[in-house]
Amino acid sequence: MKKQILVASTMLSLVVTVMVTRVSAQSSHYFRVIIPFEFAISGKTLPAGEYIVRRVASDSPQWLAITSVNARTRQTVLTHKIRNGTLQSESKLVFRRYGDQYFLSQIWESGETQGHKLLKSRIERSVERDLAKRGEGPAIVDIVSTP
């Protein structure tokens, strides 16, 4: 009987440890950011404002959701891994700016060496071609997360 109780308590302890670890890992993959300009993601334009960036699911880190804090605006995007080689000290969003148009390009999470890259939309490629004809290119704009 003592052996069964010991085995059961050990199993329960293991399950609780695994669950706490999973919840902790899921909750650490989000950050807040204030974006002071209108911007585009995957062909959709989002207004300036405060957003929360988070992984959609811990087992699918390539899917990210960008949601306004008032939950009125949400965009889910498929990203591709990119490497920087250095540990990120802060979370940030990287935009490409063409004139007064901003397109989300990369997402970096603090404590990670890998980031998330978004593919260019059809609209962004068109804007890029038009500016290239004039010999102009995009400017890079970083927006760092808020505490």
pLDDT of residue 1: 55
The answer to whether the CB of 75 falls within 8 A of the CB of 65 is yes
The answer to whether the CB of 80 falls within 8 A of the CB of 20 is no
Please state the domain extents for the chain.
29-144
Helices and strands (DSSP H and E) totals, the chain: 2, 11
pLDDT of residue 4: 58
The answer to whether the CB of 55 falls within 8 A of the CB of 112 is no
pLDDT of residue 77: 94
- Burial letters 56-93, b for 16+ CB under 10 A, else e: eeeeebeebbbbbeeeeeebebebeeeeeeeeeeebbb
pTM of the model: 0.78
pLDDT of residue 27: 43
pLDDT of residue 57: 87
Grouped pLDDT means (10 residues each) for the chain, 147 residues: 52 41 50 97 94 90 93 93 91 96 96 94 95 93 92
**Structure letter (DSSP) for residue 29:** S
